[in-house]
């Protein structure tokens, strides 16, 4: 059901309060012409209610000549902020940025975060924001999981569909998303509720099977057949199956960049209010489909860039692929079994 403008502003006020916005803070709202104006207006109203100093930075849209489709994750690296140092400094001057435009995977975002400014991305439809309004319980659940992932030295993923994937851990940090940005230099995304890390370079090995009903992003499609990815020394070496395997091969080959085949972040979903079925109820251009990334007990793996944690792979192609019904083991101890979270510290907190 539609969310009213008043309700949307109230929700933003709650999220900004969780993000420690008050009268001592400055808030910049980053937008372009394709931003959802209801979200921009709600963020402005909420920041004013909290008596923060608030201002808008509006940038013209930018479309890379090689980008395909309108999804905000379909081409990574270059954004409307690229090369605009004046606008970047205006954002760095704020205590917090509400990003309604999408800076993710850009070097400018990393520089802004290093300045101590925190960033909250909000680009999903208001109804999705409402259903997954973040809570302190979401943070507790995800942070408990982070302790397990941060201390682990290996991950093993299996499924009845045929997945058998291993990777060593420890070279890169564990990263959490729980829906609000409450610490200096923190980036988060409302809505969310999951965590991930990156394999040690060259260690990801095995096979990942995309089964019927699994999701491919940014395609925003449910798989209708099995696709098998063979992985060696951190890179996808073979993609085989039927039509969908051919489509994926052709899409990734289009970028003419071997780095697109690298295994990027790996982790699992912890948001009980996210739904595997939700993507089918929205048009493809309605948002990024955070339901798919965050639904409880998924195994989410990605391909392509790892520069946000200091890696060297700067590539424009980034796939997020959440799989259902997988088992995830950290140091051979189960944390997810066939899509059910089993580690006690990660149980659903009401």
Residue pair 95/68 in contact (Cβ under 8 Å)? The answer is no
* Same-domain pairing of 196 and 322: yes
- In the structure, what pLDDT confidence band is assigned to residue 345 with cuts at 50, 70 and 90? low
- Residue 295 in tokens: 């639904």
**How do 96-99 and 26-31 pair as beta strands?**
parallel
Domain residues for the domain of 281 are 133-346
* Same-domain pairing of 82 and 139: no
* Same-domain pairing of 17 and 137: no
Q: CATH number of the domain that 102 lies in?
A: 3.40.50.2300
DSSP 84: -
Residue where one domain finishes, among candidates 71, 98, 123: 123
* Same-domain pairing of 65 and 201: no
Q: Which residue in this structure is represented by tokens 């066939």?
A: 338
What whole-number distance in Å separates Cα of residue 111 and Cα of residue 216?
Answer: 30
* Same-domain pairing of 231 and 322: yes
For the segment 139-197, what is each residue's pLDDT rounded down to a tens digit? 999 999 999 999 999 999 999 999 999 999 999 999 999 999 999 999 999 999 999 99
* Same-domain pairing of 171 and 311: yes
Q: Which residue in this structure is represented by tokens 């704020």?
A: 94
- Structural domain contains residue 215: yes
Q: Which residue in this structure is represented by tokens 């849209």?
A: 61
| Tally of structural domains, the chain | 2
* Same-domain pairing of 112 and 162: no
- Structural domain contains residue 128: no
Section 294-314 average pLDDT: 92
* Same-domain pairing of 119 and 137: no
* Same-domain pairing of 163 and 279: yes
Residue pair 186/118 in contact (Cβ under 8 Å)? The answer is yes
- Structural domain contains residue 33: yes
* Same-domain pairing of 62 and 95: yes
Q: Considering Cα of 110, then 111, then 115, then 120, what sign does the dihedral take?
A: negative
For the segment 67-83, what is each residue's pLDDT rounded down to a tens digit? 887 788 888 888 999 99
* Same-domain pairing of 227 and 314: yes
């Amino acid at each position: 059901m539609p969310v009213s403008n008043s309700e949307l502003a109230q929700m933003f006020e709650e999220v900004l309060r969780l993000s420690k916005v008050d009268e001592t803070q400055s808030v910049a709202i980053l937008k372009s012409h394709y931003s959802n104006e209801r979200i921009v207006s709600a963020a402005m109203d909420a920041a004013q209610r909290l008596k923060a100093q608030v201002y808008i930075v509006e940038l013209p849209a930018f479309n890379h000549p090689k980008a395909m489709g309108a999804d905000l994750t379909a081409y990574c690296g270059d954004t409307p902020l690229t090369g605009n140092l004046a606008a970047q400094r205006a954002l760095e001057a704020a205590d917090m940025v509400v990003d309604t435009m999408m800076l993710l995977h850009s070097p400018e975002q990393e520089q802004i975060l290093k300045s101590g400014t925190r960033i909250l991305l909000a680009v999903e439809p208001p109804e999705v924001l409402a259903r997954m309004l973040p809570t302190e319980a979401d943070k507790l659940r995800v942070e408990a999981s982070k302790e397990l992932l941060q201390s682990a030295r290996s991950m093993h993923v299996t499924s009845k569909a045929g997945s058998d994937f291993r990777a060593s851990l420890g070279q890169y940090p564990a990263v959490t998303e729980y829906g609000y940005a409450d610490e200096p230099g923190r980036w988060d995304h409302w809505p969310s509720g999951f965590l991930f890390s990156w394999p040690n370079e060259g260690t990801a090995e095995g096979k990942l099977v995309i089964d019927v009903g699994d999701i491919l992003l940014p395609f925003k499609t449910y798989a209708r057949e099995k696709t098998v990815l063979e992985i060696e020394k951190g890179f996808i070496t073979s993609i085989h199956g039927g039509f969908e395997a051919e489509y994926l091969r052709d899409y990734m080959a289009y970028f003419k960049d071997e780095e697109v085949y690298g295994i990027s972040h790996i982790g699992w979903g912890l948001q009980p209010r996210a739904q595997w079925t939700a993507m089918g109820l929205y048009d493809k251009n309605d948002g990024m489909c955070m339901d798919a990334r965050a639904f409880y007990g998924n195994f989410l793996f990605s391909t392509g860039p790892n520069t946000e944690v200091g890696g060297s792979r700067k590539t424009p192609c980034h796939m997020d692929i959440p799989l259902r019904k997988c088992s995830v083991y950290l140091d051979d101890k189960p944390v997810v079994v066939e899509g059910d979270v089993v580690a006690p510290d990660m149980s659903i907190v009401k």
